[in-house]
Amino acid sequence: MSEDPFQPDANRGSGAELYELATAYLDGAITASDERALAELLRSDAQARRKFVGVCIQAQLLSASGVPPGASNVGGERGQAPPSPLLGSPFNVTHGLFSDYARFSILVAALTMGSLLTLLGAWAAPTFQRAVRNETVDADRLHSVFVAQLVRTSNCRWPENQLPPLIGQQLSGGTEIRFLEGIVEIHFRSGAKVMVEGPAELTLVSAGEVRLDRGRLTAEVSDEAVGFAVKTPSARVVDLGTQFSVYAEPSGDVEVHVYDGKVSVAPSPPGRNRPVVLQRGQTARIADGRMTVGDTTKASDWDADSAREPEFARWHAFSGSLGRDKDVVAYYTFERSFPGEAHLANQSVAGTSFDGATHKTQWSKGRWPEKDSLRFEDEAARVSIDIPDPLDAVTLAAWVRLDAIGPRPQSLLHSDGHTWNRVGAVHWFVDQRGRLCIAFGNVAGEHVDVRTGEDQALVTAGTWRHLATTVDVASGEVAFYIDGALICAKTVKSSEPLRIGTAQLGNASVADRRFLVGSMDELAVFRRALSSREIDGIFKIGVPKDEPETTQEHD
């Protein structure tokens, strides 16, 4: 082939025509006359038809090649060829509409809808083994149906002979779960939501009961799930409409704390104590068959550490509710399930957005030691995301720590392509002077660029900052926040709905070096402009009191 790819053919021939027409057709931009010509070629020439099939397969494989390794493996395909030098280049991330990664997400979505629950269980069988200890679990109560769903894991370490579980995995009655450290969140079909902190060993007995042999379990029980029970070696805790935690110590002793509502606690086996009903703020400790009841407000009664609700746990609980918020279209908490994970889980249940695919980023400690963040150092580092929902209003909010301000703009989120030639495309970034900025494509050819003023608070480097920007398309109001405080509000010409679409976190698809140098930890996209009070609330619940030192871990 010629070195100049654009050089006209001296002798094109019908073969060249077929390939050009096929290219235009797959581009979705073929003219009516060219489409007729292509149709005629395919009708009249069997060889052309076969070549066309080949082009389609090539185009599909090329579009799908930016595969996060974890996703394709989980999908069941092994022995995939290593990527070619081209496919590993900075240009090539998972942008293709037909990426394997996207398809994997689709499949997982299908699986989690309950169509292939058995299969899913089989895939993850090494992780969650069926309980066989009939002496400890009442076999009559083991349901063969699925009783709960694994919603998330955070910083979990699993026994060496087990694979990490799949988020979204359906769990049947009798499933036994063991992990060495981290947090697992499970939603029961009864409506009870539990978060378990490791090291932990538990068995799902039914949709309304869990056996906790070891670990700390926090439950949030909705009205319809009243009666949800946690069975431990020395007590049975039955919810009466509440939030509570149960700590099953390795010694067999158990502590129960009630945060809201009330629970019934019955020693097991029944001994000298009758069941008691604990109210909000009360605690019970069952040790050596004896139960004592106390009050969490009296620190002397209990270990102060266990009674204190850590700020991370508070954020984590809030984060769970954010993921379920119907106005959240994409929510990346930057928590991974295993060390080399190459995708960024989208925790939003309301939106249609996909998980993100990481490229040349590094997992690093987040703003708390208990959680992760992604570090962007390489010029090509990025996370490819896809937020297809059209948005009449939007709030973008993220925790970011930049290493430095300038010498060039640093992208936080950038829709693929240029904002000036795609209506609704969004570019959210920090410019070279530290101003928080947003640009979006307005009606064709117009490019709206809004920035905070230089005399206003600027984004500073070296510390975690919470950055947020709201846009209301109808009114044209744009507001910028740093660390929960409103920095400035401006009004711009109203626009078409915003369409983030396929986009990059920490980089831009346009070739003008807008890569971020620093770390990102949590990013949420809302389908409405949050109030200043809401943004301040998000900041306050997410701000770390003591920022940890950055400890990098390479994938």
Partner 1 sequence: MALSSETVVRVLMSHRNRLSAYIWSIVGDAHMAEDVFQEVSMLAIRKGCEVADSDRLVVWLRRTARLKSLEACRKQRRSPLIDDSLLAEYDADWQRYDPLEEAELREALHACLDGLTENNRRIVALRYGQGLKSSEVANSLQRTVAAVYRAIGRIHRALADCMDRKLGREQDLERS
What is the footprint of partner 1 within residues 93-152 (CB under 8 A)? Answer: 93, 95-98, 100, 102-103, 106-107, 110-111, 115-116, 118-119, 122
Q: How far is it, in rounded angstroms, from Cα 539 to Cα 399?
A: 9
Determine if 502 is a binding residue for partner 1 (CB under 8 A): yes
Query: Which strand (E) or helix (H) includes residue 105?
Result: helix 100-110
Nearer to partner 1, 29 or 139 (CB): 29
Q: How far is it, in rounded angstroms, from Cα 228 to Cα 117?
A: 24
Q: Using CB under 8 A, count the residues that bind partner 1.
A: 84
Contacts of 333 by beta carbon, 8 Å cutoff, 6+ apart: 319, 323, 345, 347, 371, 522
SS3 364: strand
Q: How far is it, in rounded angstroms, from Cα 224 to Cα 219?
A: 14
Q: Which of residues 276-335 bind partner 1 (CB under 8 A)?
A: none
Number of residues assigned to the chain: 555
Determine if 548 is a binding residue for partner 1 (CB under 8 A): no
Q: Which of residues 191-230 bind partner 1 (CB under 8 A)?
A: none
Query: Which strand (E) or helix (H) includes residue 53?
Result: helix 46-63
Determine if 61 is a binding residue for partner 1 (CB under 8 A): yes
| Contacting range for partner 1; rule: CB under 8 A; set: 61-69, 255-263, 275-283, 474-482 | 61-69
Q: Which of 322, 338, 349 is nearest to 182 (CA)?
A: 338
Parallel, antiparallel, or unpaired: how do β-strands 477-482 and 129-130 relate? unpaired
Nearer to partner 1, 99 or 234 (CB): 99
Nearer to partner 1, 64 or 156 (CB): 64
Among 80, 297, 475, 550, binds partner 1 (CB under 8 A): 80
Nearer to partner 1, 35 or 303 (CB): 35
- CB of 51 vs partner 1, minimal distance in Å: 6
- CB of 68 vs partner 1, minimal distance in Å: 15
- CB of 43 vs partner 1, minimal distance in Å: 6
Among 37, 62, 276, 380, binds partner 1 (CB under 8 A): 62
Determine if 511 is a binding residue for partner 1 (CB under 8 A): yes
Nearer to partner 1, 92 or 154 (CB): 92
CA distances from 368 to 68, 264, 435, 547 (A): 26, 34, 26, 7
- CB of 414 vs partner 1, minimal distance in Å: 12
SS3 492: coil
Nearer to partner 1, 16 or 180 (CB): 16
Determine if 10 is a binding residue for partner 1 (CB under 8 A): no
Nearer to partner 1, 90 or 191 (CB): 90
CA distances from 419 to 72, 227, 256, 380, 382 (A): 32, 54, 54, 20, 18
- CB of 107 vs partner 1, minimal distance in Å: 6
SS3 425: coil
Nearer to partner 1, 115 or 251 (CB): 115
Give the burial class of 544: count Cβ atoms within 10 A of its Cβ; 0-12 exposed, 13-18 middle, 19 or more buried: middle
- CB of 526 vs partner 1, minimal distance in Å: 24
Tally of CB atoms within 10 A around 408: 13
- CB of 441 vs partner 1, minimal distance in Å: 13
| Contacting range for partner 1; rule: CB under 8 A; set: 8-16, 171-179, 368-376, 463-471 | 8-16
- CB of 327 vs partner 1, minimal distance in Å: 24
Token representation of residue 221: 């029980």
Nearer to partner 1, 417 or 537 (CB): 417
Q: Which of residues 357-416 bind partner 1 (CB under 8 A)?
A: 416
Q: How far is it, in rounded angstroms, from Cα 255 to Cα 235?
A: 9
Among 14, 222, 321, 421, binds partner 1 (CB under 8 A): 421
Q: How far is it, in rounded angstroms, from Cα 78 to Cα 4?
A: 38
- CB of 412 vs partner 1, minimal distance in Å: 19
- CB of 61 vs partner 1, minimal distance in Å: 5
Nearer to partner 1, 384 or 410 (CB): 384
Determine if 485 is a binding residue for partner 1 (CB under 8 A): no
| Contacting range for partner 1; rule: CB under 8 A; set: 9-17, 168-176, 199-207, 468-476 | 9-17
- CB of 9 vs partner 1, minimal distance in Å: 7
Q: Give 238-266 as a 3 state SS string.
A: EEEEEEEEEEECCCCCEEEEEEEEEEEEE
Q: How far is it, in rounded angstroms, from Cα 321 to Cα 194?
A: 13
- CB of 447 vs partner 1, minimal distance in Å: 14
Q: Which of residues 35-54 bind partner 1 (CB under 8 A)?
A: 35, 38-39, 42-43, 46-47, 49-54
Rounded-to-5 percentages of helix, strand, coil across the chain: 20, 35, 45
- CB of 354 vs partner 1, minimal distance in Å: 11
Determine if 79 is a binding residue for partner 1 (CB under 8 A): yes
Q: How far is it, in rounded angstroms, from Cα 114 to Cα 112?
A: 5
Query: Which strand (E) or helix (H) includes residue 373?
Result: strand 372-376
Nearer to partner 1, 42 or 405 (CB): 42
Half-sphere exposure of 334 (CA within 13 A, CB side): 26
CA distances from 454 to 431, 436, 481 (A): 11, 10, 14
Nearer to partner 1, 95 or 528 (CB): 95
Determine if 22 is a binding residue for partner 1 (CB under 8 A): yes
- CB of 439 vs partner 1, minimal distance in Å: 17
